[in-house]
A and B are shown apart, each in its own frame.
Chain A
């Protein structure tokens, strides 16, 4: 019989705020782990985790100005996987949702699973969840396109202006080196992003530069500006751009007809006063 202790990995998100958005399940996994690795950009959040489990270690020492994030994230995953291989019950705690905009969490889970060991991720409260609550935007209202700014600029994507656009990491728009730790390199990327958006929206279309609140005494940062002024915005590394929809597109009469429906029928079904 194999009596050797087998390691395992649970990846949890701690929410965007310092403590209140951590799920009960995430809290329990942190408390019961042999070791916790923290990817939290907030000292209060780290303090909360250390109180739950004193054997908690920050991954922040791996960040360095001029060092590619690709290397940093690989090293984070290395640390996590190594602790699992050594037979520990490991919890990796990242702020927000551990699976949203977090590279090392997915990498660690994939590698641990490939080793035949147990690895799971729990859902958490992401920045998108905070955005929806703070701005009162329901992504189902117009549909939603959600993407990262640099990826969008570099690749041949398409905007549907009838959908809400949520564009992440505009403070690093067009920054390819992955080696900067501030948002001073985004101007040319923002100019390009604005030009692309202006192909689809009027220049006075109101857009929102948003930052979720990370501390309970601070409000979320919500800056509403006309699209033409976006290049003059000063986004931070955690700024997100929201471009509201132009409205619902017209009904597709051909599809309605093929389904044996008319426009008036579906309007009546849905409730005529619902806009």
Chain B
């Protein structure tokens, strides 16, 4: 069954066994989890810039105003 990378990232962050498996075999673990081809390719190519572009938005980082 196909799974989204969003769920995969959540699971990786909360499941130490999955993270252990991922560290040993990133692509195999992501494939076994059920990532679709497009998202699996991000892992294969270690395209973290694209992953961050899709999911992180540092422009929304909170900024303290104390000066």
Please report A residues at the B interface, Cβ cutoff 8 Å.
17-20, 39, 41-44, 47-48, 60, 63, 69-70, 73, 94-96, 101-103, 148, 150-151, 154-155, 168-169, 172, 176, 178, 181-182, 214-218, 236-238
Contacts of A41 in B (CB 8 A): 56-62
Q: A217-B9, A217-B48 are in contact. Are A69 and B65 (CB under 8 A)?
A: yes
Contacts of A47 in B (CB 8 A): 6, 10
The contact of A151 among B51, B54, B66, by CB within 8 Å, is B66
The contact of B6 among A20, A43, A96, A178, by CB within 8 Å, is A43
**Which 4 A/B pairs are nearest by Cβ-Cβ distance?**
A181-B59, A20-B13, A41-B60, A216-B12
Bound CA–CA A19/B43 (angstroms): 20
Contacts of A150 in B (CB 8 A): 67
Nearest CB in chain A to that of B62: its residue: A102
B54 to chain A, nearest CB (A): 7
B56 A103 Cβ-Cβ under 8 A: no
28 contacts between A and B (CB under 8 A): A18-B10, A19-B14, A39-B60, A41-B57, A41-B59, A43-B6, A43-B57, A44-B6, A44-B9, A47-B10, A60-B60, A70-B65, A73-B65, A95-B62, A101-B63, A148-B64, A148-B67, A151-B64, A154-B67, A155-B67, A178-B63, A181-B60, A182-B59, A214-B52, A215-B9, A215-B48, A238-B58, A238-B61
Contacts of B26 in A (CB 8 A): 217
How many pairs of residues, A versus B, come closer than 8 Å at their CB atoms? 100
Q: For chain B, residues 14 to 38, give those with C-beta under 8 angstroms from any C-beta of chain A.
A: 14, 19, 22, 26
Bound CA–CA A92/B11 (angstroms): 23
Size range of the interface on B?
20 to 34
B59 A214 Cβ-Cβ under 8 A: no
Contacts of B22 in A (CB 8 A): 217
A63 B60 Cβ-Cβ under 8 A: yes
Nearest CB in chain A to that of B49: its residue: A218
Bound CA–CA A95/B26 (angstroms): 27
Bound CA–CA A43/B22 (angstroms): 21
Nearest CB in chain A to that of B18: its residue: A216
Contacts of B48 in A (CB 8 A): 215, 217-218
Contacts of B12 in A (CB 8 A): 216-217
B13 A19 Cβ-Cβ under 8 A: yes
Contacts of A176 in B (CB 8 A): 67
Bound CA–CA A44/B6 (angstroms): 6
Nearest CB in chain A to that of B22: its residue: A217
Bound CA–CA A96/B63 (angstroms): 12
